[in-house]
Amino acid sequence: MINLTLREKQVLEELIKNCKISDQEIARKLKTSRPTILKIRKKLEKKDIIKGYTSLIDFEKIGLNLQAVVLYRWRDYSKSEELEATIKFIKSLPEIILFVKGEGVGSKTDLIISLHEDLKDYEKFIRKLKYQWKDNVENVDVFLSSVDGIFKNYEFSSPVISKINEKVIYSK
């Protein structure tokens, strides 16, 4: 549970809807002052509730035309040094926009989403991964699509706002 005032919750909801919204615009919507909103925003950042702000990018316009979704299973968790080195390596790759550890389809334990200029660029990327993985990874599945096949950007506003309404404890 998080402990927020009603005003903090309202500011957080506005920032979830549009992270680029100005403090002045939030103040107008909430009928309060810009300095009040600035103070609340800074408090949310200091509490690590807001960890950063992001932009939605048109990947095609910057020359990234291919999306790869890679699901795989780590073979042996007793090889913890190799596992940690592999995770560190994966996180260092600039092509990766999302890396998730978990459980999934066919007992897969990891998911990677990466962006590439073209198929040749993807092939270089997957060879780097396979070299790093050695024999520690099995059961790899890949789904490739053009970025224009993405019909909707990841949008967190609705589920996040619902969770805030469920989990927030209001303090006065």
- Tell me, yes or no, whether 133 lies in a domain: yes
DSSP state of 146: E
Q: 34 with 73, same domain? A: no
Is the pLDDT confidence value at 152 over 80? no
Does any domain span residue 107? yes
In SS3 terms, 72-140 reads as: EEECCCCCHHHHHHHHHHHHHCCCEEEEEECCCHHHCCEEEEEEECCHHHHHHHHHHHHHHHCCCEEEE
Split into its structural domains, the chain has a count of 2
**pLDDT for res 60:** 87
118 has pLDDT over 80: yes
Q: Give the residues across from 142 on adjacent strands.
A: 70
pLDDT greater than 80 at residue 141: yes
Res 107: pLDDT: 83
Residue 69 shares a structural domain with residue 142: yes
Same domain, residue pair 45 and 79: no
Whether residue 81 is found in the same domain as residue 135: yes
pLDDT at position 142 over 60? yes
CA dihedral (50, 112, 87, 163) positive or negative: positive
Query: What is the pLDDT at residue 75?
Result: 85
Domain assignment present for 151: no
Looking at the fold, whether 163 and 136 belong to one and the same domain comes out as no
Question: 142 and 70: one domain?
Answer: yes
State pLDDT tens for residues 100-115. 988 888 888 899 999 9
Domain shared by 90 and 135, yes or no: yes
Domain that residue 20 falls in:
2-55+156-170
Between 86 and 170, the more confident residue is 86
Mean of the per-residue pLDDT values for the chain?
A: 87
**Same domain, yes or no: 142 and 163:** no
Highest mean pLDDT among 55-64, 103-112, 113-122: 113-122
Q: For residue 43, what is the domain's CATH number?
A: 1.10.10.10
Residues 138 and 70 in one domain: yes
This prediction's pTM: 0.71
Burial status of residue 8 (CB atoms within 10 A of its CB: 0-12, 13-18, 19 or more): buried
Percent above pLDDT 70 for the chain: 87
Residues 96 and 28 in one domain: no
Burial call 64-86: b when 16+ CB within 10 Å, e when fewer: bbbbbebbbbbbeeeeeebbeeb
Which residues in 96-113 are b (16+ Cβ under 10 Å) and which e?
Answer: beeeeeeeeeeebbbbbb
* Side chain identity at residue 132, one-letter code: Q
